[in-house]
Amino acid sequence: MSSKKRAEIRRSLAFRLTLWYAGVFLLSAGIAFVFFLYLITTTLRGRTDQDLLAGVKSFSTVMARQGMEAVKRQAVLESQAAGEKQIFIQLVFPDGRLFSSSNMSYFQHIPVSIEAIRRMLEQGEPLFATVRSPDRSHEIRVVYARLGPGLVIHLGQAMEDLARVIDAFQKVFLVVMAALFILAAGVGWFMARRALSGVERVTRTAQGISGGSLTERVPVRGRGDEVDQLAVTFNQMLDRIETLVTGIKEMTDNIAHDLKSPITRIRGQAELALTGEGSREEYETMAGSTVEECDRLLAMIDTMLFISRTEAGVTQPELREVDLAAVVADACRLFQALAEEKRIRLSCDSPKALTISGDIRLLQRMLANLLDNAIKYTPPEGSVRVSARRVSPHQVSIEVADTGPGISQSDLPHVFERFYRGDPSRTQAGAGLGLSFARAVARVHGGDITAVSPGAGSVFAVSIPCRSA
């Protein structure tokens, strides 16, 4: 494995999680080792103390029944029976003088403690102590106890069993813990890699997107865990980004198409003016035409900016109480002449008053765009109907219906997109922003707009929230 690969592994989150898991395991193992070592030591030491107390009780019984000489003989017998390397028995007077003793050749560095005898006599109960002989590798447990008037027993037992058990425990514990540590590290690495596999999928998808593919999506495993939630959220964000990027691309293409013709006309008029061959009237006509083209371009740019700000959620309409019925009636009167010119019947159906909270300028422009669109695509002898009504205590609806050729089902989902026009020849006048603007106005008021075309004619319905009546 290369040094670069090893460095990448060391920097990975999975490696750090595995180290953290292994560290916690080692700490837990250390605590467990100390606890069990203390438990074993305490248990075996308690058992040794019980054996020593049993010996003291046995000697006390002999002392009470047969006297000091019998105790002396009993001490020799007990020492020989148990093994002179395992126990020692000393009978001493309270001042520390030796009365009798077993073979102390293996315990010669264990002296009688006058201080321990004094403390035992003051407490009135046996006194235990743990001592270590320089010539022995294990500890020795001793007890001082009173056998009777004027006699103290100093009884000791080698703790070789405890030393062997602890040594075996340490070896077994270390071997088992080493095996468990390797197993735990492997399991920890596997679990960390498994837990982070979802994050790696997100990373691979992001890398694919950075390469220019906006169609990449993070696979969702369907477990409903945090990784799936991250994948779903990331995919939703990608859907939004793809929609925005696609919209920007389409808008850029359409802007280039719609700006090319007027800019070409403006340039042609400017070049003609530079030749100086025209009359004053021709120059005035060209100047007026140039102003009209510039006004149309500025209006289109303002509309695009409004739509973009609305989609970004930064547009703040100037809200106040508006009589929507009056706005609808005014719009119908404004377009009545145009409708009559095209021999189209324009009708208006609205209540006397329909109050909402809205921006009257935006609402007027929205209705103007919808009416202009309806009249534009309705043939002579056709009809356009505008209606406004309250559909619920908290919502009003404006409908603009026409008897035009309708909208194809393939075009219907796209009619509110900027610069979208179903006619491939693009021969209809306009920049293709009217319906996009209408949707932006509806949404900035907290509503929306829908289009229905059953085959002949179209119906555009705007829903806007209002106060309850």
Phi, then psi, of 100 in degrees rounded to 5: -160, 155
Judged against a pLDDT cut of 80, whether residue 103 lies above it is answered with: no
Whole-angstrom distance, CA of residue 171 vs CA of residue 35: 16
Model pTM above 0.85: no
What is residue 275's predicted lDDT score, i.e. its pLDDT?
A: 75
Block residue for tokens 């090893």:
6
The per-residue pLDDT for range 120-179, each reduced to its tens digit, is: 888 888 998 888 776 666 788 888 998 888 888 888 888 877 778 888 888 888 888 888
Q: Is 143 exposed, middle or buried (0-12, 13-18, 19+ CB in 10 A)?
A: buried
CATH number of the domain located at residue range(s) 226-312 in this protein: 1.10.287.130
3-state secondary structure of 124: coil
Nearest one of 387, 415, 389, 413 to 402, comparing CA atoms: 387
3-state secondary structure of 104: coil
Q: Which residue has the higher pLDDT, 81 or 318?
A: 318
What is residue 455's predicted lDDT score, i.e. its pLDDT?
A: 75
| Stretch(es) of the chain classified as CATH 3.30.565.10 | 320-465
Phi, then psi, of 133 in degrees rounded to 5: -95, 135
Phi, then psi, of 293 in degrees rounded to 5: -65, -40
| Residue 344 DSSP symbol | -
Q: Is 291 exposed, middle or buried (0-12, 13-18, 19+ CB in 10 A)?
A: exposed
Q: Is 419 exposed, middle or buried (0-12, 13-18, 19+ CB in 10 A)?
A: buried
Confidence of residue 62 (pLDDT cuts 50, 70, 90): confident
Distances (CA, A) of 357 to 304, 318, 328, 400, 457: 24, 9, 15, 21, 31
What is residue 81's predicted lDDT score, i.e. its pLDDT?
A: 66
Mean pLDDT, rounded, for 421-448: 73
Distances (CA, A) of 446 to 204, 306, 357: 38, 16, 10
* Residue 21, number of CB atoms within 10 A of its CB: 17
| Residue 100 DSSP symbol | E
Judged against a pLDDT cut of 70, whether residue 233 lies above it is answered with: yes
Any idea which of 53-62, 329-338, 397-406, 442-451 has the lowest mean pLDDT? Answer: 53-62
Q: Do residues 208 and 215 lie in contact, with contact meaning Cβ atoms separated by under 8 Å?
A: no
Judged against a pLDDT cut of 50, whether residue 426 lies above it is answered with: no
3-state secondary structure of 34: helix
What is residue 364's predicted lDDT score, i.e. its pLDDT?
A: 92
| Stretch(es) of the chain classified as CATH 1.10.287.130 | 226-312
* Residue 244, number of CB atoms within 10 A of its CB: 13
Q: Do residues 58 and 143 lie in contact, with contact meaning Cβ atoms separated by under 8 Å?
A: no
Q: Do residues 169 and 176 lie in contact, with contact meaning Cβ atoms separated by under 8 Å?
A: no
CA–chain centroid gap for 28, Å, is 29
The per-residue pLDDT for range 185-218, each reduced to its tens digit, is: 777 777 777 766 767 777 777 777 766 667 777 7
| Stretch(es) of the chain classified as CATH 3.30.450.20 | 3-165
Percentage above 90 pLDDT, the chain = 17
CA atoms within 13 A of residue 56's CA, in its CB half-sphere:
24
Distances (CA, A) of 172 to 135, 185, 202, 263, 418: 27, 20, 45, 90, 77
Which helix (H) or strand (E) segment is 360 a member of? Answer: helix 360-377
CA–chain centroid gap for 352, Å, is 54
Q: Do residues 349 and 387 lie in contact, with contact meaning Cβ atoms separated by under 8 Å?
A: yes
Q: Which residue has the higher pLDDT, 7 or 359?
A: 359
What is residue 378's predicted lDDT score, i.e. its pLDDT?
A: 92
Nearest one of 46, 120, 48 to 86, comparing CA atoms: 48
Query: Cα dihedral sign for 113, 119, 123, 124?
Result: positive
In this structure, which amino acid lies at residue 12?
S
Q: Which CATH architecture has domain 320-465?
A: 2-Layer Sandwich (3.30)
Confidence of residue 13 (pLDDT cuts 50, 70, 90): low
In this structure, which amino acid lies at residue 177?
M
Highest mean pLDDT among 19-28, 189-198, 220-229: 19-28
Q: Which CATH architecture has domain 3-165?
A: 2-Layer Sandwich (3.30)
Judged against a pLDDT cut of 90, whether residue 344 lies above it is answered with: yes
* CB proximity list for 11: less than 8 A, separation 6 or greater: none
